Amino acid sequence: MVQTQSKIDSSQHEQIETKNPTTGQTYKVYDKHTKESAEGIIDKTHEAFLKWRETSLEERANIIRQIAQCLADNKDELARMMANQMGKPISQGKSEVDLCVNICTYTADNGPKELKQEERKIANGKGIVSYEPIGVILGMQPWNFPCYQVVRYSIANIMAGNTTALKHAEICWSTAQKLKQIYEDAGLPTNVFSVLYVDDETVDELISHEKVRGVTMTGSAKAGKIVAQESGKYLKKTVLELGGSDPYIVLEDVKLDEIMETCVRGRINNGGQTCIAAKRFIVLEDIYDEFKEEFVTAMKSISYGNPVDDEPDMGPLAREDLRNKLHDQVQESVKKGATVLCGGEIADGAGYFYPATVLENVKPGMPAYDDELFGPVATLIKVSNEDEAIRVANDHRYGLGGGVFSGNKDRALKLAHKIDTGMVNVNSYNLSQPSMPFGGVKESGYGREHGGFGIKEFVNIKSIMMSD
């Protein structure tokens, strides 16, 4: 499927050309599947399901353990692939693979008991609740975590006894190929995990395929609405993990020297290209000026450069159009009254770099307030008390993650319950935890992954009632 540019015969196939975001030069060129060939892959994935669903929970768990080992064995190669495809620094890529290993291990250890059938008392007999696989799950995954996003959804469904056809982001098709190889090298039967090399429009059309029983997607709210609408037409269940503009409330009783590194890391990790990044810092006025000074100083020190050789704090953004969109959002916000405290200018030279940036004086009607800034741009918002902090935190169409920083854990926990998001960190920043549910509310989507919840999103929870 991957070809060098010299081998392409454009008269026979439609191609996708991807760029190395560090250099702006061609990275790989791929042949796309036609809709008909993609439909054939889904048919084969369904055929694999008919056998895979008969495997025992223990057998599935054992293969997933082997996948964990194969992922660990290929960690260096996967990290380098991510650096070249979407600009992730090598160390962060290795950490991503480590998380994938942990997801596999957690799923293998806990999946069988999560899916074990239950007995319940019913009138005049015995009830059995079973968790049965349903078939082919169509997965649509983005580029920002090329390995994690795929492992997160696919391992849960493989454990449940489903099979899956993956449509990965085009710039990550090499990772999709590699993960398929890793899964099969670990013992997963052919076509239990399949890969579709199609564009967004074609994969939307594939939702109607009669063998597709469910659809899971991570991406923008705009794309999520299209997927939900198309899936609804055919009564296909969906799980959607969409955008976020996560609020982090900073209370006046916190020690800034204990939280500053966490705040910065929460904004610039993965170049800020994270749905659950710490994007909006809502700071009580008693500590606002001090927080601003220290945070801006720390953000100014953030380095960016070649993610392969230099091991900077940040690599480039994944694509030129994404970098340009982010800069347009910053400029539009400034035109409407926002103030740039650092950064805010496109870097000179090759590559899609953008510096760590801080904005203040952001208000409704600005992109920096209303939208998601998918890159290393933080906004600072001053508030007078806790009630205003909660109002501002919840004054957004997204509701994915968030956080509270306080010297009083009980106070922080009380506020955490009031933040209208699917996940909240207290005095910390976490990307995800295999043992905890992951997902959002409002336009951040619905459904949950991880923590045993994802395993049951696409199963038939069947009631069997037996009379005495």
Residues marked active site are found at 241, 275
**H helices present in 277-319, as ranges:** 285-300
What is the pairing mode between strands 193-195 and 163-168?
parallel
Using DSSP's 3-state secondary structure scheme, residue 407 falls into coil
* 404-418 residues labelled b (16+ CB within 10 A) or e (exposed): bbbeeeeebeebbeb
CA 187 from chain centre, in angstroms, equals 26
Give dist(CA 404, CA 388) in Å, integer. Answer: 14
What is the pairing mode between strands 118-122 and 125-133?
antiparallel
What is the pairing mode between strands 377-383 and 398-399?
unpaired
Largest distance between two CA atoms of the chain = 78
CA triple 100-375-396, angle to 5 deg: 95
What are phi and psi for residue 246, nearest 5 degrees? -65, 125
State the Cα torsion 375-431-198-215 to the nearest 10°.
-130
